[in-house]
Amino acid sequence: MKASLLPDETARHAALSRYRILDTPPEPSYDDLTWLAADICRTPIALLTFLDGARQWFKSAHGTTARELHRDLAFCAHTLLQESALLVVPDARRDPRFADNSLVTEPPHIRFYAGASLMSPDDFPLGTLCVADHRPRRLQRAQVAALQALSRLAVAHLELGLLREVRTQQAALEEVNRRLQALATTDGLTGLHNHRAFQEALRQQCAQAARSGQPLSLVMLDVDEFKGYNDDFGHPAGDVVLRRIAAILRRNVRQGDQVARYGGEEFAVVLPGADASQAFALAERLRCKIAAATWPLRPLTASFGVATRARATPGPGRLIQGPGRLIQEADEALYRAKQGGRNQVRHAQIPHSSEGPPPGC
């Protein structure tokens, strides 16, 4: 006899689909459950099955090589209809629901069946954990209780798998967001912070310096005569220069300093805690590293402008020199370095700073 569908079959199927369990490979955690069910109930066959549309699909099968069955033949389709979530058939030949079932009249000649529904947390029967035998028999009360307990464990495994999938998806989403954030704040050519990230970093460091009373310096540099370099050798060659400049800056700043591509051939370095003399010395070191580097097409230099927000008495809301003022002063110092002959460092707060390359650079 064919089992009727549940009144809320559509909702039941949606609940089952949520677990993404159908047609997945065998898993030891489920195979252990069918092995235990067969061992406890002393049956040659144990199945963990899910009812999906017109078929009964076996997630785990102990004692048979079958992987699925037409739903019209499934004993488990009747189990899903039981209010007790349990169906025991002592002798299928004597049960009018199964007497003419081909699973009974033909191989594998099922005579005994016991199945416990896999009830989802929202009370939908997703499938069954069942045992079967080729001879009629009954289960002891403890065996029935064990079968029901194992069915609950099967649902717990389903829930755990769903939780793992949710966490995996969450981790993947966080990774996507991290990459998007990196793309939004990273210069695609050099891998440095971009202009937007630089502005935010400088704003945060200015606020931190105001709270702590520590100095803060900003270095801005521009590759000398870079337009002519691009015109003579092409933009791909110019891109190589910018990437190498970025690498030199990264290798030679202090830990905690923040390097950014400000725009075009201009770069910026935020120096938390650096006073005027420390910032000037670092800028000189960077200038010398760039000038001393081996450039494949012709020598290159860079000009530097430095500005420092001096140490102040800490206090809430103190912004003696904000980001805009610091950028303006560093940019004006950079302009003086360019006008003064290039390849030099000028500091907004140090008069007559570095008029030309120092000896030994």
DSSP 220-247: EEEETTHHHHHHHH-HHHHHHHHHHHHH
- Euclidean distance between CA atoms 218 and 347, whole angstroms: 10
Residues 6+ apart with CB under 8 A from 157: 29, 30, 33
In the predicted structure, residue 270 carries a pLDDT above the cut 90:
yes
pLDDT tens profile 97-136: 999 999 999 999 999 999 999 999 999 999 999 999 999 9
Q: Look at residue 298 in the predicted model and tell me its pLDDT.
A: 94
Catalytic residue among 83, 165, 265, 332: 265
Instruction: Give percent of the chain with pLDDT exceeding 90.
Output: 82
Q: Domains (ranges, CATH) in the chain?
A: 9-168 (3.30.450.40), 195-347 (3.30.70.270)
Structure confidence at residue 281 (pLDDT): 96
Tokens of 291: 């000038």
**Tally of CB atoms within 10 A around 180:** 10
| pTM, full prediction | 0.57
325: exposed, middle or buried (C-beta count within 10 Å: 0-12, 13-18, 19+)?
A: middle
**pLDDT given at position 358:** 52
| CA nearest to 246, candidates 225, 228, 221, 226 | 221
What pLDDT score does 114 carry? Answer: 98
How large is the average pLDDT for residues 272-283? 96
**How far is Cα of residue 90 from the mean position of the Cα atoms in its chain?**
52
**pLDDT single digits (tens) 241-264:** 999 999 999 999 999 999 999 999
* Whole-angstrom distance, CA of residue 82 vs CA of residue 175: 45
Q: Which of 69, 40, 39, 51 has its CA nearest to residue 15?
A: 51
**Structure confidence at residue 310 as a pLDDT band (50, 70, 90):** confident
Q: What is the pLDDT of residue 5?
A: 87
Q: Is the pLDDT of residue 1 over 70?
A: yes
How do the residues of the chain divide into helix, strand and coil, expressed in percent and rounded to 5?
A: 45, 20, 35
Query: Distance between CA 259 and CA 274 in Å, rounded?
Result: 14
Q: Is 265 a catalytic residue?
A: yes
* pLDDT tens-digit map of 41-76: 999 999 999 999 899 999 999 999 999 999 999 999
Confidence of residue 160 (pLDDT cuts 50, 70, 90): very high
- pLDDT of res. 319: 43
pLDDT of residue 165: 82
* Nearest residue to 94 (alpha-carbon basis) of 82, 75, 112: 112
